[in-house]
Amino acid sequence: MPKLPVLRRSSVPRWRDVPPQHGRRFVVTGASSGIGLEASRALAGAGAEVVLAVRDRAKGERVAADLPGRVEVRVLDVADLTSVRAFADGLDRVDVLVNNAGVLGVPFSRTADGFETTLATNHLGHFALTNLLLPRLTDRVVVTGSRAHLHGELDLDDLGWERRAYRPYAAYAASKLANLLFLAELQRRLTAAGSTLRATGAHPGSTATAITASSGNAVFAWVGSWGHRLAGMAPWQGALPTLYAATMDVPGNTYVGPHGPGEMQGWPTTARRAPAALDPELARRLWECSEQLTGVRFPL
């Protein structure tokens, strides 16, 4: 793979060309729309074999028909551990896992496993999937973050929002903080185990996707959709940080986002992390909680 240094915000090139990926296999969760779809399109166009991991097979088949190269549709609901295990059991060698699927602003609900839905979808399901697939990975895991993590507060004694009044955006911000803590702790464990695998992360800034459509709030969904269209980037450009983190030769625990003001728009560069996202003790405790909740442990 071409090797570039970690980008500096003072001089950011307009990176948009994914290097050749022939002979490499990617799994992209949430690949039927938005960032996941555009990342899958670019990867397949660069010669990769791409597994579209989607909840709705019919929708996945429709979008797959319009993608170039070699793509395969497989059903995965990351909010359901039974689905996660079945999906992982059905795969053999994978080079790169892109943990992209997510929800934002959804009303309070619990999954079939009894978890709060936002945490289950954005963190716990991907935590389980990653650890189940680690023995079959050859290159890296990409974790999807968000600027929202800067406002996130993670209560490890009430991850399920049982004692607090549920707030959809706060739940989302907490789940995104969990993603970055997972990124850091995963890389720490890989390094300690002597593994050559790496964990990287990315966030899309302000990108026009349909992620707010599942909120159940028509006003919030409209503002989220049209606000991002007016002030944000098209999905193809919003996918660039993910593609950079997935294909370029950057160190483990690199976190990529848009270079512009507030990391809202722009071209891929290193992104800011909240102090809480750099807390190794919080990362360790979250990992232990996640193992207990999912029943899945670090396998290396």
Q: Residues with catalytic annotation?
A: 172
* Long-range pairs of 64-73 with CB within 8 A, sequence gap ≥ 24: 67/40, 67/41, 68/41, 68/44, 69/44, 69/45, 70/44, 71/40, 71/44
Contact call for residues 118 and 172 (beta carbons, < 8 A): yes
Residues 21 and 34: their CA atoms lie apart, in Å, by 21
Q: What stretches of the chain show up as alpha helix (H) in DSSP?
A: 34-45, 57-64, 81-89, 117-119, 125-133, 168-192, 218-231, 235-238, 240-247, 280-294
CA angle 287–88–240, rounded 5-degree value: 75
Of 25, 49, 45, the closest CA to residue 139 belongs to 25
Residue 140, Cβ neighbours under 10 Å: how many? 23
Q: Taking the CB of residue 214, how many other CB atoms lie within 10 A of it?
A: 16
Find, among 227, 126, 111, 239, the residue nearest to 175 by Cα: 126
Distance separating alpha carbons of residues 93 and 75, to the nearest angstrom: 17
Per residue in 12-43, is it b (16+ CB within 10 Å) or e — as a string? Answer: beebeebeebeebbbbbbbbbbbbbbbbbbbb
